[in-house]
Structure 1
Amino acid sequence: MYSRNCSSFLNRFRQKVCHVVQCNASTSIKSSYDALVIGAGHNGLVAAAYLQKAGLDVCVVERRHVIGGAAVTEEIIPGFKFSRASYLLSLFRPQIMTDLELKKYGLKVYLRNPSSYTPLIEPGGLNGKATSLTLGMDEQINQQQIAQFSTKDAKKFVLYEEMLSRFVSCIEPLLDRPPINLPGPSTASWSERRDDLVTSYSFLSMLKKNRKDIPDLYELLMAPAQKVLDKWFESEPLKATLATDSVIGAMLSPYSPGSGYVLLHHVMGELEGVKGAWGYVEGGMGGVSNAIANCAKDHGTTILTDKTVKEIIIDNNQVKGVGLQDGTEIKSKMVLSNATAKVTYLDLVPQECLPTDLRSAVKQIDYKSPVTKINVAVDRIPNFTANPNTTADSVMPHHRSTIHINCEDSLLIHKAFIDAQNGQYSKLPVIEMVIPSSLDPTIAPPGSHVVLLFTQYTPYSLADGRQWDAQTKDEYADLVFDCIERYAPGFTNSVIGRDILTPPDLENILGLTGGNIFHGAMSLDQLYFARPLSDISNYRSPVSGLYLCGSGSHPGGGVMGAPGRLAAEKVLADFKKLRK
């Protein structure tokens, strides 16, 4: 295996990288700041940039040797740059892109078209000859592709997308505003009460404008995604392909109630002004975080790596700063945590500083994760039997899309989910494969490629006392490769090396509690004014000066930046009060 043959070289490589970063991390630390951000994930960096631009003196401390959190690029295998966790961009809020001038600070994105490719093991369709389903931005091509399986579905698909677009127009404005303040007017300032009224009025006005859609919107939010898809379509390759958006990153089946919202969440994006578009960030997803960090630093933010926060210092229910693992104390009037609610309130805040009922509620937050991410370096582009490469090294259009494997039928997804409910990793895992090097030439040597595999379902804890040790991880990765081999023979032999991140790895390495990429399940009981809990849904905490700014807050997960910006707004409002 790669991990055995190249371990000594990799160790020397990592030591070299860590040495360089350690020199970078030696930036002098001041004794106090106006605001301190725990965690240099993209949301924490967004918050820092907004605060620094507004005139606050801000410091960001990151426990790892590299910034980015889950939106990170790492050269795990020499010469190959991996988007180690998150791997696509679309949900990032356009307002933040503009406010922070991210293109000026180095962000470059490659739009994808087509967007989705589902190869079939055996030819099928109406004439028995269809080998795959490819979807993209071209309406006519989409209809031709779908018509291979159902002429009815080809006609209805346009109407389905128009319906989703109307739903997004209703819900999307909520992503850029803080949730309505549930505790009531007595605890909110006049400006916040006014904002609540504006939000309510805007949402109700949008619903009124689309009143005929309200029953269907309600159904999509509440029902299993499969119920909705079955009402619209009859062909399984189409339904299963669309169903993947309802379960990606979630311990749900398309047959689970609430999976419809997850589907809607993943179509709310926009890139380069194109609604619903997804793309690859040049240099990997760390390019997003680096651009935000460049903006923040350009305005004066201090960003420190290799600095682990041991505790949040609190005196008389007021934040005073943080204590680092090395014994350093940094004073700060405001502390923003980009960590999960669990890490923030149960690991970093002293137990006696929070109400017992709040600590109990935080323990009940759902962090279940189905995801194992496998990052692979290969020496040639995969060759799919369904659509063979024209030449050995040719990049075909479908290589640029999200490739869905074991997704010809929705029941395959459901059966994979059932395996995980029984404490087993899926026998036929749902695999989303992307090959960002198909568009981005900066992340792999010429002729070689970076292949990123987002796989489900793998429970955090395995049955029968099995552990996610090296042997189990290799067994699972081999199973995934065997599945790919059925669609793209020769894939396994093309592998140069691989990096396997199970749910415990995602937690231990990236700080994602439970391995959950969204900082908590995106279920209806953990959304909007209930994210992460109703008592702490407005970014503030019971401790004065302590805030959550990560994906565990509204509007939730994905590389959006919105939680960071909205948390920064709360901090700025409170900071103005301190100055009066």
Structure 2
Amino acid sequence: MASRCLRGLGAWAGTSLPSWGCSRASHAGSAAAPQREYDAVVIGAGHNGLVAAAYLQKGGLKTAVLERRHIVGGAAVTEEIIPGFHFSRASYLLSLLRPQIYEELELKRHGLQVLPRDPYSFTPLLEDGQGGRPPRSLLLGNNMAETQKQIAQFSAKDAQAFPKYEAFMSRLVSAIDPLLDTCPVDVAVLSQGSLFQRLKALQGLRTLIHAGFILGKDLPQYYEVLTAPISKILDFWFESEPLKATLATDAVIGAMASPHTPGSGYVLLHHVMGQIEGWQGAWGYVTGGMGALSQALARAATELGAEIFTEKKVAQILQSSDGKVRGVCLKDGTEVKSRLVLSNASPQLTFLELTPQDFLPAEFVQRISQFDTRSPVTKINVAVDRLPNFLAAPNSSDGRPSPHHQSSIHLNCEDIQTVHQAFEDACQGRPSCRPMIELCIPSALDPTLAPQGCHVVSLFTQYTPYTLAGGKQWDQQESDDYADQVFDCIEAYAPGFKASVIGRDVLTPPDLERIFGLPGGNIFHGAMSLDQLYFARPVPSYSGYRSPVQGLYLCGSGAHPGGGVMGAPGRNAARTALEDFKNV
């Protein structure tokens, strides 16, 4: 194994590398240290923070971004964890990025290239092949006729129902999509605000009414999708377990929830709302890894005039005696003054650690402290010296990627009950025995990520509790044991996988929290459950990006409309802050 790795790295050493998004803030064109004063300061250079900075600067406000890590991007970063292998270390796929941001910030001109995937989903089964044939598998793609043929292996009825299901979900997406780009309706203003404020709130209400108009007489059915367990919805449409389990993965991905959990339908909807260059529902890899997206956002922001600084950890948000924001204080004691502060950090970090409590209402603090951030995710990044060879779809003799290698490969997803049992394991404080695994191989479409002949493999796995049974914390042994369990599962589907491994990077929920600032390891900054969405994200009465502290705004995934690499919280928060700034 070592000799194969060294040969690959030797070949790689003589090639020209693209920009990986791993560099320090030199790309920002800013000075070595922040100025003493800005109009606005953004805490955190995650993708939402970069989006917010670009829009603030575009709106005429002198803006600085302060990032605690040595690279920008938050969870959307590319890092060379193993020499020669460049991983999208946390976030690994792109779809949800709002098209307005893509166009308005000219991200394509700033270097963003997205590689769409077709087919997009592959679910191999653990079974004995019949008549010398390999085990069955389910391959879903954009060719509906071919997808129906795949589904018909398991159910002719489901094959006929699938286009109708897709159309049904697409209609719901078209109704809800506009809500992502507007502030939640401020109900208090409707009854207590000035005439101008009431009229403005009514504009937001119009978006809700429009959504209801699109759904029309089928509104009760769509209400059921948002509130019911996804298992109930899928049982209505389909009978074959591999199809139901495959679709259910999008309803529980990143969530401490089972397919049988009420409200899991919305999480699925959240994941099908994206698009790539007008291709509705498509997901793709970013050329150069997810860090290339963050680099494009950083270039857009700095070209507009924003300044970005890395290794500048904010220790406290500063307030004046009357409770208004007056800037931030860095860990080294440096004060950076500003009239606006937008925090891309989680709600808990922003309001419970960085903000002095003097001007925060007690009920607000209590609600923030109770914000559900439970996470089931352990991300494992793996360097391999050959493609996984699945029993259900053997590799070609030339070793080149097959169509299914570009997909999200779902393992331990033969049926809904297997996914539910994995959830039950975690509820008992133990990592799942048969974890739900989403395996992606971005180097199948972007060979620049790994040495020639080698590949990077992303394993998004669940369920793993943040704290183990008996209050035990994760240690190196626990982490290694779980990773070994995951590899054993993959080995059952693709014999030889373990022998192909060159190195791995295991990120348990506490690791995701420590490295990327994800509270509880939650990729969304907080559960995307119905009690923590729209009017109630992060808490009721403060869902419009403003906080109890005048001039302090939340612009990260803990704000409406939630998590995923979409940029909507950053854009919406910046527009709200700009409006307030100009009306003072």
Shorter-chain TM-score: what band?
Answer: over 0.9
Looking at structure 1, the residues matched to 149 and 200 of structure 2 have their Cα atoms a distance apart, in angstroms, of 46
1:286 equivalent in structure 2: 291
For the 8 Å contact 1:71–1:86, the answer to whether it is kept is: yes
CA positional deviation for 1:163: 0.2
Q: How does 1:253-332 map to 2 (within 5 A)?
A: 253-315=258-320, 316-332=322-338
Return the offset for 1:423.
0.5
Does residue 83 of structure 1 match 2:88? Answer: yes
Aligned to 2:583: 577
Give the drift of 1:441: 1.9
Range 487-496 or range 202-211, more displaced = 202-211
Q: Name the residue aligned to 1:172.
A: 177
Deviations 1:431-488 (A, max 9, x none): 0000000001221111110100000000000002432111110000000000000001
Answering whether residue 122 of structure 2 is matched by residue 114 of structure 1, we say no
Contact 2:21–2:295, Cα closer than 8 Å, also in 1? no
Aligned mates of 2:131, 2:156 — CA distance in 1:
9
Q: What is the match of residue 24 of structure 2?
A: 21
Alignment equivalent of 2:370, drawn from 357, 364, 372: 364
Aligned to 1:38: 43
Conserved 8 A contact 2:24-2:72: no
1:94-153 superposed Cα distances (whole Å, 9 cap, x missing partner): 011000000001100000000100001115799997610000101001100000000000
Taking the aligned partners of 2:331 and 2:21, their CA distance within structure 1 comes to: 18
Deviation, 1:191, is 5.6
Partner of residue 422, structure 2: 416
| Structure 1 residue runs without a partner (length 5+) | 7-16
Equivalent residue for 2:456? 450
Taking the aligned partners of 1:217 and 1:441, their CA distance within structure 2 comes to 41
Alignment partner of 1:224 out of 210, 214, 229 = 229
Aligned to 1:381: 387
Alignment check: 8 A CA contact 1:375 1:499 kept: yes
Shift of 1:188: 5.0
Partners of 1:30 and 1:445 in 2: CA distance: 42
Aligned to 1:69: 74
> Which residue of 1 is the match for residue 518 of structure 2?
512
Aligned-residue offset at 1:186: 5.9
Match of 2:493 among 487, 493, 505: 487
TM-score (norm 2): 0.94
Q: In structure 2, what is the equivalent of residue 48 of structure 1?
A: 53
The aligned amino acid for 2:576 is: K
The answer (yes or no) to whether the contact 1:48–1:58 under 8 Å persists in 2 is: yes
CA distance in 2, matches of 1:436, 1:333: 42
Evaluate the alpha carbon distance shift between residue 428 and residue 20 of structure 1 in structure 2; reply closer, same or farther with a 3 A threshold.
closer
Contact 1:126 1:149 in 2 (8 A): no
Aligned CA distance change for structure 1 residues 400 and 318 (closer, same or farther; 3 Å) = same
Q: Which amino acid aligns with 1:284?
A: G
The question of whether the paired residues in 1 share the 8 Å contact of 2:135 and 2:391 is answered with: no
CA distance in 2, matches of 1:277, 1:573: 33
| Pairing 1:395–2:398 present | no
Distance in 2 of aligned mates of 1:141 and 1:563? 37
2:160 is aligned, of 148, 155, 172, to 155
- Decide which moves more: 205-214 or 503-512: 205-214
Cα deviations across residues 514-571 of structure 1 (Å, max 9, x unaligned)? Answer: 1100010000000001101112211001111000000100011100000000000111
**C-alpha separation in 1, matches of 2:526 and 2:131:** 42
1:127–1:152 Cα change, 3 Å: farther
1:146 and 2:151 aligned: yes
2:205 to 170, 175, 200: 200
Amino acid aligned to 2:177: E
Counterpart in the other structure of 2:541: 535
Q: Distance in 2 between matches of 1:508 and 1:26?
A: 28
Letter in 2 for 1:303: I
Residues 254, 128 of structure 1: CA spacing in aligned structure 2 closer, same or farther, 3 A cutoff?
farther
CA distance in 1, matches of 2:436, 2:540: 33
Query: In structure 1, what is the Cα distance between the partners aligned to 2:213 and 2:544?
Result: 27
Q: What is residue 10 of structure 1 aligned with on the other side? A: none
**TM-score normalised over the length of structure 1:** 0.94
Give the direction of change, closer, same or farther, for the CA distance of 1:520–1:484 in structure 2 (3 Å limit). same
Query: Contact (CA 8 Å) 2:21, 2:77: kept in 1 or not?
Result: no
How far off is 1:424 after superposition?
A: 0.5
Name the SS for the 2:337 alignment partner. strand
Q: Which residue of 2 aligns with 1:237?
A: 242
Q: How far apart, CA to CA, are the structure 1 residues paired with 2:165 and 2:356?
A: 50
Distance 1:22 1:287 in 2: 14
Letter in 1 for 2:511: D
Aligned CA RMSD, in angstroms, stands at 2.2
SS in 2 for 1:210: helix
The question of whether the paired residues in 2 share the 8 Å contact of 1:130 and 1:148 is answered with no
1:27 is displaced (CA, Å) by 1.9
Indicate the residue corresponding to 1:9 in structure 2.
none
Change (3 A) 1:125 1:212: farther
The DSSP-based 3-state class of the residue aligned with 1:381 is coil
> Structure 2 vs 1, CA of residues 322 and 138 (structure 1 numbering), >3 Å: closer, same or farther?
same
Secondary structure of 2:125 counterpart: strand
Amino acid at match of 2:569: P
CA contact (8 A) 1:127 1:148 kept: no
Residue 350 of structure 1: how far off its partner (Å): 1.1
2:555 aligns with 549
Question: How far, CA to CA, are the matches of 1:484 and 1:22 in structure 2?
Answer: 39
Distance 2:527 2:511 in 1: 18
Q: Report if the CA contact (8 A) 1:89-1:559 is conserved.
A: yes
- In the TM superposition, residue 353 of structure 1 has moved relative to its aligned partner by 2.8
Deviation, structure 1 residue 209 = 3.7
Identity of aligned residues (%): 60
User: Larger deviation: 271-280 or 20-29?
Assistant: 20-29
Q: Distance in 1 between matches of 2:178 and 2:129?
A: 41
Q: Which amino acid aligns with 2:543?
A: S
Is contact 2:151-2:158 (8 Å) kept? yes
> For residues 487 and 402 of structure 1, what CA distance do their matches in structure 2 show?
15
**How far does the alpha carbon of each residue in 1:255-282 deviate from its partner, in whole angstroms, 9 at most, with x for none?**
0001000011111011011101110001
Seen in structure 2, the aligned counterparts of structure 1 residues 115 and 38 have a Cα distance that, compared at 3 Å, is same
Mapped contact 1:314–1:321 kept (Cα < 8 A): yes
1:432-443 equivalence runs, <5 A? 432-443=438-449
- Distance between the aligned counterparts of 1:471 and 1:496, measured in 2? 19
The residue identity in structure 2 corresponding to 1:233 is F
Identify the residue that residue 522 of structure 1 maps to in structure 2: 528
SS of alignment partner, residue 299 of structure 2: helix
- The one-letter amino acid of 1:574's match is D
Q: Which residue identity lines up with residue 97 of structure 1 in the other structure?
A: Y
Aligned residues: 566
Q: How far apart, CA to CA, are the structure 2 residues paired with 1:57 and 1:543? A: 21
- Secondary structure of 1:334's aligned partner: strand
**Contact between 1:181 and 1:188, CA under 8 Å: does it hold in 2?**
no
